[in-house]
Structure 1
């Protein structure tokens, strides 16, 4: 069973109760006196002296030799008070902890929780307090969301904002230490009062006390233009928006992947069709080239045969001219001219024959070579 705020652990002594602290503070505020305390950060003995005289905090426990002594050399431990609140979707604080029924305070992940202190503060004008979150909670991902100074003249309960920056809920036992409080003596003499502005209200107004943190939270949620805004972490909203964005990106990526797959399939079909068409064109070209080569060879052969026949006929004609050239003077006179015509025709025939031979050689050059069956492929 966890201890309540006003219960002493075995080995602890209650030096100042809540009621005693109130009486001490009211007495001191009416008639302060001189205390022999240096203007500096107070040690444990000076803390005890100030508490016993002024009731600056209560309840105040003292022990020696315990592993979890509340009083350290220059600080005193504060714990969770009777209640804690959180803002959810509504503009009003919702109570999430009651010390009469709950043994643990659960600080939800990525949230801000407002915790009441277990101590009553009635600070005289010559004392200023500072507090910080205990280091074990800092190392576990909690942050204290307020300034550490508690002004001289403050009477009331502390409202401590706790930020849980982790993605896991965090539990704090109600009898576990939460903050460390330091006590500093200001340069004001302990038997004097400071006429400067108090923590709340004006210098000439009656002292304002702050014992209900729920009331304070309602006031803090009120904006200057009159509407209320819930005091909560923006992290859950950011994470929700990020999750929606990630989900949409995943859906877009899946759609793009499907479209890319379809395009790859179409590209594959197009490549196959192109390959088939190219193969058909190649075969047609080879067939046409082969047919053309065969036809050209036939033409060249026919030309060559006709050329040879013309050459033979011309030679025979020349022989006839030579043989009959002496039979007639007129014929003999026309022989030189006829011989010249024959020789000119012979030259033309020879030139035509050479062109035919060149054409045949060119056809042989461009004709596809048959593949050697013994030569490896590739």
Structure 2
């Protein structure tokens, strides 16, 4: 039967008081009811409504700690992240710390943080807060909050918790988007649903246990606040602030295409610049060659002029030498002739 959320929580509180009167720990209650269903024939095998979920969680020690305030929907229980966190940062180094908003955890854990940031296109391993002790006749499934699903986050496990499992759950959260998201300690992360299997109690069963309360058959209404979301855009506005998230791979591909286009433009520019450079080099070489040719021609002309002048000067010297030789010969003949007659008188 559907009752108000306030009435439902009051009934869960009375149920918890009856269980506390047993003075048995959650672990001891699990040992007692692991293979013995105290509500066989009273709660049928099916997806458990909120009242039956609270009954088994409290009586059998299935969820510890169990927070009735996180059971506000007809069939799902909200679970927060708290515990060990592991992921690789942008440098590839492993980050290790304990996620908790409880200051007392700093006394027992070396590194405590109250939030974790999911980087774009990354995976982060988170630990859920409670210890689960699943009876042999109950299984569980879980998934992310609808808000986080519309953000583009993905939980990377089964996500089935088999009957008989006992311990804490760690789950990988994938952020495939280009937007970072923060997860805070104590903030609801996943919704659990629980299903009772077909089951027969063993032939030898404990005698009737006086402190076991009657099952709670009621459930709260679906939260009216969630019914205000009518369209796809309503869900996206709540999750991202407007519009679908951008996939990190799409952004990377777009960046690669932009870089490729820039490279292509640079290569085109380099090709044009190279052609201009080659043309300039050819022109420069031609100018140097033409200058060398002109220099050679001028040098040859000057050399020919110098040779002609030198030949003329040599000829002048030869002519002067010949003239001097004639004068010398004449002088020699004059000195060697006999004296004239007047000199013999």
Query: So what's the TM-score if we normalise by structure 1?
Result: 0.47
Match of 1:275 in 2: none
Give the SS at the match of 1:60. coil
Root-mean-square deviation (CA), in Å? 4.1
Give the SS at the match of 1:121. strand
Give the SS at the match of 1:178. strand
1:181 Cα deviation from its structure 2 partner? 0.4
Asked if 2 retains the 8 angstrom alpha-carbon contact of 1:86 and 1:96, the reply is no
- State how many pairs are aligned: 212
- Where structure 2 has 5 or more consecutive residues not aligned to the other structure, the ranges are 1-11, 106-111, 205-246, 280-345
Distance 1:191 1:86, change over 3 A: farther
Match of 2:131 in 1: 120
Aligned partners of 1:251, 1:119: CA distance in 2, in Å?
54
Are residues 1:256 and 2:268 paired?
Answer: yes
Aligned partners of 2:121, 2:155: CA distance in 1, in Å?
14
Give the SS at the match of 2:85. strand
Larger Rg over CA atoms: 1
Distance 1:85 1:248, change over 3 A: same
- Where structure 1 has 5 or more consecutive residues not aligned to the other structure, the ranges are 1-11, 64-68, 194-234, 268-378
1:160 is matched with which residue: 153, 158, 171?
171
Asked if 2 retains the 8 angstrom alpha-carbon contact of 1:85 and 1:97, the reply is no
Q: Please list, as runs of the form range in 1=range in 2, the aligned pairs for 1:85-124 lying within 5 A after superposition.
A: 85-87=86-88, 94-99=95-100, 100=105, 101-124=112-135
Between the two structures, name the one with larger relative contact order (CA 8 Å, sep ≥ 6).
Answer: 2
Aligned partners of 1:236, 1:73: CA distance in 2, in Å?
36
Match of 1:134 in 2: 145
Asked if 2 retains the 8 angstrom alpha-carbon contact of 1:78 and 1:180, the reply is yes
Are residues 1:45 and 2:89 paired?
Answer: no
Match of 2:31 in 1: 26
Aligned partners of 1:191, 1:162: CA distance in 2, in Å?
40
Query: So what's the TM-score if we normalise by structure 2?
Result: 0.52
Q: Please list, as runs of the form range in 1=range in 2, the aligned pairs for 1:164-179 lying within 5 A after superposition.
A: 164-179=175-190
Aligned partners of 2:85, 2:55: CA distance in 1, in Å?
31
Distance 1:240 1:37, change over 3 A: same
Aligned partners of 2:203, 2:268: CA distance in 1, in Å?
77
Aligned partners of 1:98, 1:45: CA distance in 2, in Å?
30
Aligned partners of 1:60, 1:125: CA distance in 2, in Å?
19
Aligned partners of 1:34, 1:70: CA distance in 2, in Å?
20
1:238 Cα deviation from its structure 2 partner? 10
